Amino acid sequence: MNESRAWSFFVDAREAVKRLDLYLVGQAALAGQAAAKFSRAEIQRLITEGQVTLNGAVVKASARLKPGDRVEMILCPPRDAKLSAEKLPLDILYEDQDCLVLNKAPGLTVHPGAGHAGGTLVNALLHHCPDIEGIGGERRPGIVHRLDKETSGVMVVAKNAFALQKLVQQFKDRSVEKGYVAVAWGKMKPQKGVIDRPIGRHRSDRKKMSSRYFLKHSRPAVTTWTVMERFILNAGTVLARYLTLLQIQPRTGRTHQIRVHLADIGYPLVGDRLYGYTRNLQKATTANDSILGSIARQALHAEKLVFTHPRTGRRMEFIAPLADDMVNLLRRLRESDCAPPSGGFGNASNGG
């Protein structure tokens, strides 16, 4: 699969005063075969599309250089020709010339892959804003970050190469703030906590990640959590089970991070068949089908996203309303006998 390529140049005194496009024609030959194929016309096209920046800003091809200027060029390969635009519903929270923020529905795959040639968020985006074609990876045009198929919530999409570069960098340097809402099995204590455990590919199941049984390579992963509410199912019986509503802030962005961290410390997400669907939890779910049957996926929602606008530099915060299935789940828990008594096990004074 082709990937985006990037080059950085620092202008020395000998190259100063040159036009940006002419400078890059000369420098491209030094960056490798892929860049060396660019003509002046191709360089000018990249500059116009925002795939070239001068000191972090998009400028014209005629811009004159000064000693010490930093020039960055990104080569974004075109998307696979098989990708098609599809008219699918999008819940758009915000949109301008550089980015689009949306509330992804549960069950929507972000980009095409094995078994998902169409019906994805990418297909919908290509219909809504065709100009994102070729912005980023060949099968992920405009995609800055992703959510699991069954996870709902807020995402930001880049509409040009300049925005893509700036937004991706924010995720890399962790200046983006993310907030999730989740319902987990168990009575989590205390009221707040931090899970600091590296995550890697599961050593026996390649479909899973793990912070306990991973292969040699792993990456740091940190998740903070806060208890919002607690519930109990089948109170006073041998089938009694607790559930905890959590606010979660992942400080890193590893694959399946929240699901893995919670499951590996003994509090898997409600409805998570990959990481927490044990025989006992399956029995508890079946016994409470009238309540838990309202959600058929992991109870995880990306509620908040805060980032810096790639062009204006303004800090922006977006809140995505809960999907209907999570709204119904919480409503049924609160309306049933699952809600704890006033002053009971849900307050911080008694240790959670």
Q: CA 206 to CA 189: how far, in whole Å?
A: 31
Mean pLDDT of 220-225: 97
Q: CA 278 to CA 291: how far, in whole Å?
A: 18
Q: Which residue has the higher pLDDT, 286 or 309?
A: 309
Q: Tens of pLDDT along 114-128?
A: 666 789 999 999 999
Instruction: Give the mean pLDDT of the chain.
Output: 86
Lowest mean pLDDT among 11-20, 50-59, 131-140: 131-140
The residues that bridge with 74 in the sheet, in sequence order, are 6
Q: DSSP 3-state assignment of 38? A: coil
The residues that bridge with 224 in the sheet, in sequence order, are 194, 249
20-28 and 40-48 helices, crossing angle to 10°:
120
Contact 254, 188 (CB under 8 A): no
148 a catalytic residue = yes
CB within 8 Å of 233: residues ≥ 6 apart: 239, 240, 241, 242, 243, 284, 287, 288, 291, 338
Q: CA 349 to CA 351: how far, in whole Å?
A: 6
Contact 333, 291 (CB under 8 A): yes
Q: Tens of pLDDT along 51-60?
A: 888 888 888 8
Contact 249, 178 (CB under 8 A): yes
- Percentage above 90 pLDDT, the chain: 54
**pLDDT reported for residue 118:** 87
Lowest mean pLDDT among 83-87, 172-176, 189-193, 333-337: 333-337
CB within 8 Å of 219: residues ≥ 6 apart: 198, 199, 200, 252, 254
In sequence order, which ranges of the chain are alpha helices (DSSP H)? 20-28, 33-36, 40-48, 121-128, 161-172, 257-264, 279-287, 289-292, 324-335
Cα 130 to chain centroid distance, Å, stands at 22
Residue 343 has pLDDT above 60, yes or no: no
Q: Tens of pLDDT along 197-221?
A: 999 989 888 789 999 988 778 899 9
Residue 192 has pLDDT above 80, yes or no: yes
Residue 31 has pLDDT above 70, yes or no: no
Any idea which residue has 């962005």 for tokens? 253
**pLDDT reported for residue 196:** 97
Q: CA 199 to CA 196: how far, in whole Å?
A: 10
Q: CA 321 to CA 323: how far, in whole Å?
A: 6
**pLDDT reported for residue 138:** 61
Q: Which residue has the higher pLDDT, 37 or 192?
A: 192
Torsion 180-154-261-288 (CA) sign: positive
Domains by residue range for the chain, with CATH: 5-75 (3.10.290.10), 80-173 (3.30.2350.10), 175-352 (3.30.2350.10)
Confidence of residue 98 (pLDDT cuts 50, 70, 90): very high
**pLDDT reported for residue 259:** 97
* Amino acid letter, residue 5: R
* Amino acid letter, residue 175: S
User: Which candidate in 21, 148, 264, 325 is catalytic?
Assistant: 148
Give the predicted TM-score (pTM) of the model: 0.73
Residue 92 has pLDDT above 50, yes or no: yes
